[in-house]
Amino acid sequence: MNSSPEVPARQSHVRSWSIHGREEITARYEILNTIGSGAYSDVYRARRLSDDLPVALKEIHDYQSALREIEALQLLRHVPNVVHLIEYFWQEDEDAVLVLEFLASDLASIISSGKKREGGLQVGEIKRWMMQVLQGLDACHQNGIVHRDLKPLNLLVSADGALKLADFGQSRILQDTRYTPGEKSTTYTFSDEWMALKNSQWPEAAGNQDYRAVSEDGIKDKDPIDENVSSKDGETSCVATCCTTDVDDDIFKGQEIYGSYESKEIDDSGELTSCVGTRWFRAPELLYGSTSYGHEIDLWSLGCIFAELLNPEPLFPGTSDIDQLSKIINTLGDVTEATWPGCSKLPDYGKISFKPIENPHGLETHLPNRTTMEVNIIKKLICYNPIDRVSAKQLLQDMYFTEDPLPVPLAELNVPIKTNDHRDGEEDSVGDWFGESDSDEGFAKMDFSENEKGYSIKFS
């Protein structure tokens, strides 16, 4: 795979010259055009010179994102519904460049093309898309990987209808899985190249070939890598960015952290960050600042994605993080100990409160003309208490997928050519916390007061 197994030392500002000037890459690939730019990367379409294989070259400008993405894709390299990492280039003073299989479309394009089709996406098509997402996500969770940025744009699709989870730059490998003992998991081991790379970076893991592999009872061993790469996540919670004491004199100051949370310096706190995932797909525990969440945050995102497949509009298109919570609460009802046991222990619970909702809309209103069975699937994922969310594995066994109309074969799926007309509203930006609301209810009045947790904001 990589000619040099050495991971370059972590540097605060790794900048590389243009990918076009990197001979180790251009000797093997012809770079054709740019196909996308994300928060931390530029992606190019290219072809392998030896056999004309179409590939995507993903140049990642952030050290930690690169490490996370390579690590997750190595671990999931045999999973059919995860994008395949062919090889990667990474040398000191250079950005990592990942060579990925080329995938011509994504689920966002499929949803928007279905919207334009008379009758929309057919039930059999929806079921096949859902099953592929579930199979990819189940493999992640079986391996203790939480993706943390699931959304239709990160579900890439090949021209022949194979859907693959992509963009693992925010993923994390949890120190244990919550799969119940006895649940059989597939064991994956690292390639020799990756082990050499890992051992050079983390000598304490040397010689422990499958230290992260899932054990017989489904529980993972302690993960030294995770501790080494964890960021100061606890300081970057979405609400904490405007609630810490240094914000007292300027409540907007802390929001600068929001846009740069992934570039925080590492420490060994082992906590996760609550500022992950694109807002529309972000679970409520993250919006309330949780730093000890599990793979259930992906299951919430999954519910949002499935709801969008069933009714081609985003389920909760919040214009700010507060608006995001408001939209969720207007649908599911008040967040209380009765509706979500343990919610009052969330770091930011009590720092923000909303006017009580007497008649929540309910998820049904977002899914007009859908069957009870379909609405029930969404309800199993979009629920406040993370432990109530059904796992990808369990959902794959749901009768929905074995009842008529059956999932269509891949060959019958309609895969549109990808265009660049995707929604912009999903993107996070500095200052979004107090962005304007477009929710029906709006925020007529904001009361700001100090309390034992720092301060509280009350909307009425």
Ligand X SMILES: Nc1ncnc2c1ncn2[C@@H]1O[C@H](COP(=O)(O)OP(=O)(O)OP(=O)(O)O)[C@@H](O)[C@H]1O
CB 173 within 8 A of CB 184: no
418 annotated among ligand-binding-site residues:
no
Under a CB-based contact definition with an 8 Å cutoff, are residues 6 and 88 in contact? Answer: no
As to burial, measured by CB atoms within 10 angstroms (0-12 exposed, 13-18 middle, 19+ buried), residue 1 is middle
Distance CA 22, CA 213 (A): 35
Tokens of 317: 């298109």
**CB-nearer residue toward ligand X: 97 or 378:** 97
Closest contact distance (angstroms) between CB of 407 and ligand X is: 24
The least distance separating ligand X from the CB of residue 35, rounded to whole angstroms, comes to: 5
Q: How far is the CB of 65 from ligand X (least distance, A)?
A: 7
C-alpha to C-alpha distance for 218 and 80, rounded to whole angstroms: 21
Residues that bind ligand X (CB under 6 A): 35-36, 38-41, 43, 56, 58, 83, 100-103, 106, 149, 154, 156, 166-167, 169
> What residues are annotated to the active site?
149
Shortest Cβ 422–ligand X spacing (Å)? 8
CB 34 → ligand X: shortest distance, Å?
A: 9
Query: CA torsion 226→230→235→239, rounded to 10°?
Result: -60
Q: Which is nearer to ligand X, 153 or 174 (CB)?
A: 153
User: Toward ligand X, which CB reaches closer, 63 or 459?
Assistant: 63
Contacts 24+ apart (CB under 8 A), 24-30: 24/89, 24/91, 25/57, 25/89, 25/97, 29/55, 29/57, 29/99
Cis peptide preceding 405, ω within 30 of 0? yes
Helix 107-116 vs helix 123-142: crossing angle, to nearest 10: 170
In the structure encoding, which two tokens stand for residue 459, read together?
């909307």
**Which is closer to ligand X, CB of 170 or CB of 241?**
170
Task: Tell me which residue has its CB nearest to ligand X.
Answer: 38
Rounded CA-CA distance 152/308 in Å is 9
Question: Which CB, 76 or 103, lies closer to ligand X?
Answer: 103
In whole angstroms, give the CA distance from residue 423 to residue 122: 23
Between CA 249 and CA 421 the distance in angstroms is: 41
- Residue 332 C-beta-side C-alpha neighbours within 13 Å: 23
CB of 356 to ligand X, least distance (A): 36
Distance (Å, whole) CA 369 – CA 365: 9
H or E segment at 307? helix 296-310
Single-letter code of the amino acid located at 459: F
Query: Hey, which residues does 457 pair with through a beta bridge?
Result: 352, 448
Alpha-carbon gap, residue 212 to 221, rounded angstroms: 6
CB of 216 to ligand X, least distance (A): 34
Judged by beta carbon, residue 305 or residue 352, the one nearer ligand X is 305
CB nearer ligand X, residue 166 or residue 383:
166
Task: Summarize the annotated binding site for ATP as residue ranges.
Answer: 58
Task: Summarize the annotated binding site as residue ranges.
Answer: 58
